[in-house]
Structure 1
């Protein structure tokens, strides 16, 4: 019991002071020495509680650095599927020097929040290749939204898909057949053809491949971005995205 209570405190002290674990061997201490040491640790921490927060900060920084390095390796290992899958919609500048890939769900509030900022990033920069990965994870309405968008692309091409993407990001209705039909008509499309295409094997396969890729990349939420060789999990504001792109260019 004593050792289990002492271990986290000992770790905190080692991290905060820069000491090495080899410098301290509790197993070689007598019971009285361990008790005395424990009391000294307790006394020190009561007098210097900021040590715990400092140790936690150091530990979190190390974990973040390890995750970032792991993410770089994941991106490298899955580069073809991320950047050149042959089926995902590509916008922005197709010849851009940096590719931004977004895994999105039309029903995700943070995806909707990020959407205008992503568009501004692409438009203001002018040299970004933008790839959209349909990754519906928030229920049946999400799946139907992605199927609708992909069906629009199959029926009417890339420009129509881009318009559907915009409309779905703003849509606040359930994806019932009358809603989908009205949306298709608003986009100037053949509603019957779009609705019929939504259940195609090709669309089912695309969604399955994107889901498998997300699993390989340990992606469980949206939005998630790949910017250059960096995996960015969650919403980030425009200025932060611009900083990431600048850093990617500098490193490249």
Structure 2
């Protein structure tokens, strides 16, 4: 499961557009081939077929959805291959595991996303199992104002060498995120509060967020968390340990 960036209704619109587009193309072709009487007969046959077996329409819609999903995945992977170098780069503080690892895994996540929080120990264990993996973290605040506040706070803490400390503290925190709350967490973790307050709105903080969001758009990101295994697979949603291992093996063989 995952949080989606776009309303599910867009999928239905996409399917409807494909269906109506196909219908228009068929209609234009029919005008050139069939007479008015023949077209009326064809329409009647189709109506009768749908009345006799409504699953025909259900199967057609399902087929369109599968095709649309495949097109979405193809578009995302095309973006991954086109932007491979940018995706696999990040400030040193956002790189975990083996910094010289043979395989790079990219994780897009939102600090307020419950599924992202669920994945924290799963990712920790994954890195412990695979010492040759380099993990690049991409913070993307996509769930509203609270996400933006937490993301700014985490990047502000990075200026004092406490990115991971603040990331874990805020992702474990269940209190509603506010400026006062993130300041409390920062103070409790030993940050210089004058510097922290300034870095919350510093140009480098804004630049880090903008870069990650631009990269998310480049790969047509659909939700958080999303993992990219090399250039072999893009896997959205909370994954099981064995799923992560399987995607990693696919990346090793690519």
Q: Paired residue for 1:185? A: 187
Query: Equivalences for 1:109-120 in 2 at 5 Å?
Result: 109-120=114-125
Moved runs in structure 1, 4+ residues, more than 6 A? Answer: none
- 2:226/2:237 contact within 8 Å kept: yes
CA distance in 1, matches of 2:54, 2:42: 17
Partner of 1:242: 245
3-state DSSP of counterpart to 2:175? coil
**In the alignment, structure 1 residue 95 sits paired with structure 2 residue 95:** no
Is 1:53 matched up with 2:58? yes
What is aligned with 1:212?
214
Does 2:183 match 1:170? no
Change in Cα spacing, 1:220 to 1:70, as seen in structure 2 (3 Å) is closer
81-90 vs 126-135, which moves further: 81-90
Gap runs ≥5 in structure 1: 1-6, 13-20
Say whether 1:38 aligns with 2:40. no
Residue 86 to residue 246, structure 1, CA distance change in 2 (3 Å): same
Does the 8 Å contact 2:149/2:179 carry over to 1?
Answer: no
The structure with higher relative contact order (CA 8 Å, sep 6+) is: 2
Equivalent position SS for 1:101: strand
Alpha-carbon distance in 1 for matches of 2:58, 2:93: 44
Partner of 2:138: 133
Measured in 1, the distance between the counterparts of 2:109 and 2:49 equals 49
Q: 1:77 corresponds to which residue? A: 82
Question: Do the aligned partners of 1:102 and 1:225 also contact (CA within 8 Å) in 2?
Answer: yes
Q: Secondary structure at the match of 1:25?
A: helix
Higher Cα Rg: structure 1 or 2?
Answer: 1
- Residue 87 to residue 220, structure 1, CA distance change in 2 (3 Å): farther
Q: 1:51 to 1:178 in 2, by over 3 A?
A: closer
- State how far apart, in whole Å, the 1-side matches of 2:236 and 2:154 are: 23
Question: In 2, distance between residues paired with 1:186 and 1:217?
Answer: 37
Structure 1 length-normalised TM: 0.78
TM-score when normalising by structure 2: 0.77
Instruction: Point out the more displaced range, 135-144 or 189-198.
Output: 189-198
Q: 1:125 to 1:231 in 2, by over 3 A?
A: same
Partner SS for 1:131: strand
Please, which moves more after superposition, 182-191 or 77-86?
182-191
The 5-angstrom pairing of residues 222-237 of structure 1 reads 222-229=224-231, 230-237=233-240
Residues 222 and 233 in structure 1, CA contact (< 8 A), matched pair in contact too: yes
Deviation at residue 26 of structure 1 after TM alignment: 5.0
Distance 1:30 1:102, change over 3 A: same
Shift of 1:123: 2.4
